[in-house]
Structure 1
Amino acid sequence: MESKQAVEDHLNKQHIQFLDIMEFTNLDLYGSKNRQLLVWLHLKKNELEQMRESVNHYLGQEDASINEFLNRDHIGGNSAGLGLALIGLIIRGDLQSDLSFAVTGAISKTGDVLPIGLVKDKIQIAEVSGYSYMIIPSENAEEAARIQKEHNVNMQIFDVSHIDEAIQLINELNKKDK
């Protein structure tokens, strides 16, 4: 279609709900294809495998439920890494939480929280899903603050640069909630 407005009008006429419309250029499409070619040629690991390795390395072991999640169809990217590492800690009994959090962020093998893409979409999905709290990478904090203001997001968004900060935050919020 010719414009974002034309796409929006078309979707509205068909009564299809959507959060946002993104424009892709040929550069975006070919960049994605080139990255995939590097994976196929074994010159680069795909993001999902990088995430699996980082989470398992951080936890010091593989976890069957995490591997089950990662083996599902239509899983891609690495932005679930922080959430999976936190779930691994909960499964092991090293972390407890009585609160629900939306969590996004890639993770390194040492627990550093790395930036992710599609922040706007993830924030909007978390809010529509009814979360009161969201944890994001510190490198995405400015973008998240702008999105929160522009879209009147009524959810507390916390940023962390290491998984230890996320653990501390979850523990503090759970104490306040009691």
Structure 2
Amino acid sequence: MISSYVPPEELIKNSGIFLLPVYSIELKQEEVLDEQAFRDSNSHLIIFDIKQATNLHRYAGKTSIIFKLIGINLEEDYFHQMSVNVKSYLNTSNPAIDEFLSRSNSGGNSAGLALVLSSIIEQEKLKNNMPIGVTGAISKSGKVKKVISIKEKILSANKIGLSYIILPIGNLEEGNDVVKSFNLTIEVIGVRNVDDAIQ
């Protein structure tokens, strides 16, 4: 399992809200990966983590393949559900967000909170004067739900010099552990819902 850096994206310019994507790939091979050789041959990538897949990862991958065979793509479904939840919560259209939600190379649901906050700022219902990394899945009612790849997202935010990252309260302990173990100065803020994030 390999995770690597993707530059954070300020989807709506001058909103100060940065989405924190992470590129993840599962290499399928029989022998143990020579990590140094892999890093050397992929020196164009900033690799956050290389870890051996566990049985849980393998079974999840096999389950995903079975779902795809019967016409269900879980990553697309997560992304689609995020799209439905964001549009439902905002109850309005936004060209930049619509373009993001129509991208074919995206997956997961962790951009939901960032999309909502970006739109609220663009509608001038909220003012933001500082760049903030934001991650968190969102429900139709605005509840913020846990996401994965917290370490990678915090390191991405830190790499471009963001001083703050907003994430789900369910990921707060993990976020604080990352900040402590990498001796970062970024401040991690946990939220339960959109209103908490606005505050």
TM over 0.5: yes
**How far, CA to CA, are the matches of 1:49 and 1:92 in structure 2?**
23
TM-score (ref. length: structure 1): 0.82
1:2 and 2:32 correspond = yes
TM-score (normalised: structure 2): 0.74
Structure 1 residues 8-23: aligned runs within 5 Å = 9-11=36-38, 13-14=40-41, 16=43, 17-23=46-52
- Matching of residue 163 in structure 1 with residue 190 in structure 2: no
Q: Deviations over 1:75-132 (max 9, x none)?
A: 1100000000001111211111111000000000000000000111111111112111
Provide closer, same or farther for how the CA distance between residues 36 and 12 of structure 1 changes in structure 2, counting only shifts above 3 A.
closer
Unmatched runs of 5 consecutive residues or more in structure 1: 169-178
Q: Which secondary structure does the structure 1 equivalent of 2:47 belong to? A: coil
Q: Which one has the bigger strand percentage?
A: 2
CA distance in 1, matches of 2:53, 2:173: 23
Greater helix fraction, Structure 1 or Structure 2: 1
* Percent identical residues: 34
Partner Cα distance (2:65, 2:131) in 1: 35
Supply the distance in 1 between the matched residues of 2:158 and 2:97 (Cα, whole angstroms). Answer: 25
What residue in structure 2 maps to residue 59 of structure 1? 90
| Alignment partner, residue 81 of structure 1 | 112
Q: CA RMSD in A?
A: 2.3
The higher relative CO (CA closer than 8 Å, separation ≥ 6) is in 2
Compute the displacement of 1:37 (Å).
Answer: 4.5
Correspondent of 2:53 among 9, 24, 28: 24
What are the within-5 Å matches in structure 2 for residues 16-165 of structure 1? 16=43, 17-35=46-64, 37-38=66-67, 41=71, 46-165=77-196
Aligned residues: 165
The runs of 5 or more residues in structure 2 that have no matched partner are 1-30
- Mapped partners of 1:15, 1:69: distance in 2: 28
Deviates most, 120-129 or 29-38? 29-38
